[in-house]
Amino acid sequence: MSYYDPSKIGVRESIAEMTVIELLQALTRNASDCHKEVFSLLEALHEGKYEIVKVKHQHALKFKDNTEEAKSKIIEYLVRTMPSLTYKDLFRSITYNVERTAQLMAGLAHRLAIIASNSIEIPKEFTESLLNFTKRFIEEFDELREGIFMLNVNPKITVEKARNAMKMEEELDEQYRLFTFKLYEKSSGNMMAVLLLKEIIDIVEDSADLTKDAAEELMYLAMHKVS
């Protein structure tokens, strides 16, 4: 005969949560690799090294694929352990948001390849702004990633990291508005460049929004651990 043992339920939840967090850490590593690969493509574009962009943009797709595989592992694990995890919906949402950033940034890499393949000239002031904007997004994502790594170690630090990420996203909102205004003001003569640059900046902005959403969910998880 089996008996109800609340202590065993608590142990199972603890083990399941630790496993999910470890899987999330792998997910964010892969997504971060994708983001940084795209940043290197932006650097090459800024320096006029179009051949490098054409050759290396496939690397970003590989990192995106790795991120998708890591997402699938998390979702499969969540399905198997659903009764054991109180905050499974939050873990699932963080997973989808992180994976989506890699999808978007891989799409950015594709647009950079279009620019390089068609030898579309982009003024350096715009590529420099894109570099600064994307770098700030990567810093935002790094705060999220570090927060996830600290979730089981020191959740108070996780709360701080999540708040940092959310604050950075607010700064990116302002930069986005300024960039868009400058783009329409100074590049009205080259419609193809304008359209591609607008798509690129929108992708980074959307990725920053997803990171903020994940940070809010992560902060809730961490605050639950602190309380």
pLDDT digits 0-9 by tens, 103-122: 999 999 999 999 999 999 89
Give me the pLDDT at residue 189, please: 67
Q: Model-level pTM? A: 0.91
Stretch (H or E) spanning 5? none
CATH code for the domain defined by 6-226: 1.20.58.220
Domain extents for the chain?
6-226
- Which residues does 227 contact at the CB level (< 8 Å), separation at least 6? none
Ranges in the chain, pLDDT < 70: 1-13, 187-189
Give me the pLDDT at residue 5, please: 44
CA distances 208 to 25, 35, 66, Å, are 18, 11, 20
Give me the pLDDT at residue 4, please: 36
Give me the pLDDT at residue 226, please: 83
Give me the pLDDT at residue 150, please: 96
Give me the pLDDT at residue 7, please: 45
Q: Which two three-digit tokens encode residue 11? A: 């142990």
Q: b/e map of 206-224 (b: 16 or more CB within 10 Å)?
A: ebbbbbbbbbbbbbebbee
Phi, then psi, of 193 in degrees rounded to 5: -65, -40
Q: What percent of the chain has pLDDT over 90?
A: 79
CA distances 92 to 21, 99, 123, 157, 190, Å, are 11, 11, 41, 22, 42
